[in-house]
Structure 1
Amino acid sequence: MNRKTLALSAAFGLLVPVLAGCGGSDGGSGGGKAIVVGTTDQYIATKDGPAPLDPAFAYDTGTWNVLRQVVQTLVSVPRGGGKPIPDAATECGFTDRANESYRCTLREGLKFPGGDAITADDVKFSIQRALDMKGENGVGTLLSNIDTMESDGARKIVFHLKAPDATFPYKLTTPAAGILSAKDYPAKKVRTGFELSGSGPYTLKTEVKGDAVVKAVFTKNPDYKGNVKLQNDKVELRPFKTPDDMGKALYDGDIDMMTRAMSPQQVEALIEKPREDIQLTEMPGLEIRYLVFNTDTPLVKKKAVRQAMAYTIDRGQLVTKAYGAMAEPLYSLVPSSVATHTNPFFNKYGDGDLTKAAQLLEEAGITTPVKLTLDYTTDHYGSATGKEFETLRDQLNASKLFDVDIKGTEWSEFRPNGKKGEYTVYGMGWFPDFPDPDTYVGPFFDKPNFLNNPYDNVKIRTELLPESRKQADRSAASKTFGEMQNLVAEEVPMLPLWQGKQYVASRTEISGVEWAVNSSAELHLWELGQGT
């Protein structure tokens, strides 16, 4: 087995631009044979989520990794990171020093799959649609700072913002800002089912069994014009229920690569017992895991209970028992590899300080043990999630300050329950929407927020976040981000636990693997090729 460690910088917010390969869709290889990629992400239509592939509804990493292959955006983050560069556009930029007006000019010759030319009116329609529908999963928050849009009906569009926002170009790189056809997507309602169409690098055909996708086939789009250079003609994405099922398919030669989420045991096995036909690639990761407190519920409404949990949990032990080398402790919502990161939770609470936890609860007049249920999803964040919550339960119960049960629920039910406020304390994960520290703060503390959490920190929402977004030089916002991190540590509406590394296993004849998954866990299938 060949093992690669990708040393690309994962720190963003201070990145300089990196040149990306250009030239449209030329360069595909492999003929008609598809490269087959396995994933444990599931694509399921439910009563609460009838439109899993609609860009105005979808807001999770797994689904976005499907959308990015098919739906084109005005700008995109270049290979290796850096500032957004034009994709569907030929040029984009702020037209004022205040970062309140942003203008783009479309490429000539852009087409939807049916052959219709793409105009600035289509861009305006697509983004207005996302704003009007407000996305039940919270995806609309990414674009909610748009006040008005001007289109010349041909190739030029201008976005006028409600407030200055230097991160706006990054938000336009997300699938929420994908360019859609009014013929395929109704203006006021979601497009249900598993159809997806756009002007991106690939077209998509799904194979569905019941209410779930069992195969997604991406075929090179001959009409694509953008900055991506395809290294293949066809890729098949195949969902698996468990990492073990996915691993068996790789070892048997049924798939060429397995991506998120490999289990810690699989990674350890491939390191300790290498195979000549399998390559393991380690990559920087910006995934975080955290606990969410529903501050409307009586049990955790008192800050002292939330702070006592922060004192009690030992992140080092948690990571060692559940994830091993695949994770490291996290003491802020902003990961340690991001330039504005600080360690406020470590500075204030340390790890496993039971004396201070007991003193705090006693001073607040809270009777112990505090009886709680920790809820988590069984099938969305990887096979080690159960072990993680068993470890959290055992730590909290061993303190005698808490009496904790845990309960696992499938994601299709878990996510709607969380948004409805049916849980007191529950576990969530987060991958960045775009490469800027704002993505670890804005989605949680702006209004509306991704979690539909009742907690509202007025200072963060009305003062610090707007102030940070004024800074075109993101390093100048470090002090403001530090203050926001300190406020979160003081109030504990959320409790960060760990940040992860990424591992991808592939057959040795597959090339481009190190570029196919970036530090934000974005899947770039166009980078994969066959042969050296």
Structure 2
Amino acid sequence: MNRKTLVLPAVVGLLAPALAACGASGDESDGRAAIVVGTTDQFVTSKDNPAPLDPAIGYEAAVWNVLRQTVQTLTHVPRGGGEPVPEAAESCTFTDTQNERYRCRLRAGLKFADGKPITADDVKYSIDRVIRINAANGPVALLANIDTVETKGEREVIFHLRTPDATFPYKLATPVAGIVPRSKYAAKSARTGFQVDGSGPYTMKPEVENHRVVKVLFTRNPHYKGDLKVRNDEVELDLFPDAKKMGKALDGKKIDMMTRTMSPEQSRQLLENPENGINLTEMPGLAVRFLGFDTKDPAVKNKAVRQAMAQVIDRGEIASKVYGTTAEPLYSLIPSGITAHTNSFYNKYGEPSTAKAAAILRAAGIDTPVKLTLHYTTDHFGTGTATEFEALKKQFNDTGLFDVTVQGTPWEKYRPAQVRGDYAVYGMGWFPDFPDPDNFTAPFLDRNNFLNSPYKSDLAQKALIPQSRRESDRSASAKTFQRLQDIVAQDVPVLPIWQSKQYVASREGLTGVEWAVNSSADLQLWELADGTA
């Protein structure tokens, strides 16, 4: 979800000298031709998730980082940010003043990777398919405002929206709106397994062991026709079980770059003690971490409990002691760097205060200590998560107002349990689909929100969110978003904790690293090149 009126992803710092003319990929002794990128992302098929890489199903940053390389969208957010521009389309525009009708014209000669022509009917089929499948907690909410998709001839597609939505061009730039071949993707059912087919810059071939992807080879698509400039012929994505093993692979010249998610210790070490032959690139980050609440659960149903938690949490301590330079405190769902950000939680609660939290609980007639379990995933958001939740437990318990325990669960089981409502309090992260304030509010507060939260604000859903989407000039909606942030601080359906900074480590000789990950943590592998070439 990548929307732009705002942040231009500036490259903050290369800690080593300018990229040199030799690197792992250029070392003839290792016999590798492909640029190799490491990640700790995991892709597993299971009974609960048999089709993790289907664009109608997958709604995680890791999944989208595979889809973006292989499935083409009508628009895309250009390098460096800004308004979406045509990608598979040659032109796209709203054709009315209310932002309710959006027309795109396809590029001439557009083809899938197998050489078959792409027509407007393929675009309509792909969009209608996502809406028809309507996957629970999938990305369909991004397309929910589409009333009908109309085609004219072989190259023109017109989207008729139910309500005005100035963010729609950004939604079309996300993989949920990817164009897929109907011969590979059934109209009413998900495509199981790990294969992805489309018309993007690469074809892909996954290597699978025990229902788990261990590698993905991306090869330049000879039929690709779009706005992206592909600077390499092959990129191999290697999946590691943890950041430590990924780091050893970089040190051993087995990979050229390691990206999400480096551990805080790795980033800190490379910042303080740069290594010869390895560059550390810092990039803007918009990912946020927060506690979510099942607001119907008896333990946290009374918002006074949630407000008291917001009153005592020390975000600065979590950010500095657990994550160091890789995180900064967050006092709103909308992170700093995004238009309309305001520190609503700080404005309401100020500095951490046990006395104020006690007064909140006492006024609501709540007995203390309040017994809670904080749930977190052990293998999805990086190695610092367990340490973070131990620190949170200590902060809450040290007040004497709470009796908190923590429980870690692998993501494969954690996410289904969270969606079912098994957890009263749980930790989650959000990687934006597009960097617009809408994408940090609507997914949490609107109907069919991605947390499956029972929390509901009529003011947010029926008035403020629709009102914000009418504004083509996104800065004009700042006051509306301020009200949405204040509602979150008052009702605390979620409790923001910190926002990330992004670091990527790479071997000298690899160029394009500063563009290969954008502020929304999207991988853009086409930007990478071997500096020796």
TM-score, structure 2 normalization? 0.94
Q: Distance in 1 between matches of 2:307 and 2:294?
A: 14
Report the CA distance shift for 1:438/1:290 in structure 2 as closer, same or farther (over 3 A): same
Structure 1 unmatched runs, 5+: 1-9, 19-28
Q: Distance in 2 between matches of 1:44 and 1:387?
A: 25
Task: Please list, as runs of the form range in 1=range in 2, the aligned pairs for 1:234-383 lying within 5 A after superposition.
Answer: 234-383=234-383
Q: Offset at 1:426?
A: 0.1
Q: Offset at 1:496?
A: 0.3
Determine the structure 1 residue equivalent to 2:205: 205
Please say if 1:13 is aligned against 2:5: yes
Determine the structure 1 residue equivalent to 2:402: 402
Residue 9 of structure 2 contacts residue 284 of structure 2 at CA under 8 Å; is this kept in 1? no
Determine the structure 2 residue equivalent to 1:470: 470
Please say if 1:124 is aligned against 2:116: no
Task: Please list, as runs of the form range in 1=range in 2, the aligned pairs for 1:98-137 lying within 5 A after superposition.
Answer: 98-137=98-137
Determine the structure 2 residue equivalent to 1:414: 414
Determine the structure 2 residue equivalent to 1:24: none
What SS does structure 2 have at the residue aligned with 1:323? helix
% identity of equivalent residues: 59
Q: Distance in 2 between matches of 1:461 and 1:165?
A: 14
Letter of the 1:142 partner, please give it: L
What SS does structure 2 have at the residue aligned with 1:154? coil
Q: Distance in 2 between matches of 1:64 and 1:483?
A: 31
Size of the aligned set, in residue pairs, is 513
Q: Distance in 1 between matches of 2:447 and 2:416?
A: 18
Residue 264 of structure 1 contacts residue 384 of structure 1 at CA under 8 Å; is this kept in 2? yes
What SS does structure 1 have at the residue aligned with 2:506? strand
Report the CA distance shift for 1:16/1:103 in structure 2 as closer, same or farther (over 3 A): farther
Task: Please list, as runs of the form range in 1=range in 2, the aligned pairs for 1:21-100 lying within 5 A after superposition.
Answer: 33-100=33-100
Q: Distance in 1 between matches of 2:262 and 2:9?
A: 31
- Alignment RMSD, CA only? 1.6
Q: Distance in 1 between matches of 2:4 and 2:181?
A: 33
Q: Offset at 1:439?
A: 0.5
Determine the structure 1 residue equivalent to 2:481: 481
Q: Distance in 2 between matches of 1:216 and 1:153?
A: 37
Q: Distance in 2 between matches of 1:150 and 1:331?
A: 43
Q: Distance in 1 between matches of 2:238 and 2:47?
A: 23
Residue 124 of structure 2 contacts residue 151 of structure 2 at CA under 8 Å; is this kept in 1? yes
Q: Distance in 1 between matches of 2:4 and 2:232?
A: 29
What SS does structure 1 have at the residue aligned with 2:144? coil
TM-score, structure 1 normalization? 0.94
Letter of the 1:119 partner, please give it: T
Residue 56 of structure 2 contacts residue 135 of structure 2 at CA under 8 Å; is this kept in 1? yes
Determine the structure 2 residue equivalent to 1:173: 173
Report the CA distance shift for 1:441/1:391 in structure 2 as closer, same or farther (over 3 A): same
Q: Distance in 1 between matches of 2:485 and 2:144?
A: 23
Q: Distance in 2 between matches of 1:15 and 1:258?
A: 24
Determine the structure 2 residue equivalent to 1:7: none
Q: Distance in 1 between matches of 2:502 and 2:346?
A: 24
Q: Offset at 1:15?
A: 5.9
Q: Distance in 1 between matches of 2:433 and 2:7?
A: 16
Q: Offset at 1:282?
A: 0.5
Q: Distance in 2 between matches of 1:351 and 1:313?
A: 9
Determine the structure 2 residue equivalent to 1:21: none
Residue 52 of structure 1 contacts residue 63 of structure 1 at CA under 8 Å; is this kept in 2? yes
Letter of the 2:117 partner, please give it: A
Report the CA distance shift for 1:11/1:133 in structure 2 as closer, same or farther (over 3 A): closer
Residue 5 of structure 2 contacts residue 83 of structure 2 at CA under 8 Å; is this kept in 1? no
Q: Distance in 2 between matches of 1:448 and 1:459?
A: 16
Q: List per-residue Cα deviations over 1:306-343 (Å, max 9, x = no partner).
A: 00000011111111121011100000000011111001
What SS does structure 1 have at the residue aligned with 2:514? helix
Q: Offset at 1:144?
A: 0.1
Residue 3 of structure 2 contacts residue 170 of structure 2 at CA under 8 Å; is this kept in 1? no
Task: Please list, as runs of the form range in 1=range in 2, the aligned pairs for 1:415-434 lying within 5 A after superposition.
Answer: 415-434=415-434
Q: List per-residue Cα deviations over 1:120-171 (Å, max 9, x = no partner).
A: 0000010011111112223100000000111124000100000000000000
Residue 339 of structure 2 contacts residue 436 of structure 2 at CA under 8 Å; is this kept in 1? no
Residue 375 of structure 1 contacts residue 408 of structure 1 at CA under 8 Å; is this kept in 2? yes
Q: Distance in 2 between matches of 1:17 and 1:270?
A: 22
Residue 16 of structure 1 contacts residue 83 of structure 1 at CA under 8 Å; is this kept in 2? no
What SS does structure 1 have at the residue aligned with 2:374? strand
Deviates more, 1:264-273 or 1:517-526: 264-273
Report the CA distance shift for 1:424/1:356 in structure 2 as closer, same or farther (over 3 A): same
Q: Offset at 1:350?
A: 2.0
Report the CA distance shift for 1:11/1:217 in structure 2 as closer, same or farther (over 3 A): closer
Letter of the 1:368 partner, please give it: T
Residue 375 of structure 1 contacts residue 426 of structure 1 at CA under 8 Å; is this kept in 2? yes
Residue 278 of structure 1 contacts residue 505 of structure 1 at CA under 8 Å; is this kept in 2? yes
Q: Offset at 1:111?
A: 1.1
Determine the structure 2 residue equivalent to 1:392: 392
Determine the structure 2 residue equivalent to 1:161: 161
Q: Distance in 2 between matches of 1:315 and 1:446?
A: 26
Residue 36 of structure 1 contacts residue 237 of structure 1 at CA under 8 Å; is this kept in 2? yes
Q: Offset at 1:402?
A: 0.2
Residue 321 of structure 1 contacts residue 391 of structure 1 at CA under 8 Å; is this kept in 2? no
Determine the structure 2 residue equivalent to 1:5: none
What SS does structure 1 have at the residue aligned with 2:499? strand
Task: Please list, as runs of the form range in 1=range in 2, the aligned pairs for 1:184-195 lying within 5 A after superposition.
Answer: 184-195=184-195
Q: Offset at 1:272?
A: 2.2
Determine the structure 2 residue equivalent to 1:511: 511
Determine the structure 1 residue equivalent to 2:14: none
Residue 11 of structure 1 contacts residue 337 of structure 1 at CA under 8 Å; is this kept in 2? no
Q: Distance in 2 between matches of 1:408 and 1:124?
A: 42
Residue 3 of structure 2 contacts residue 434 of structure 2 at CA under 8 Å; is this kept in 1? no
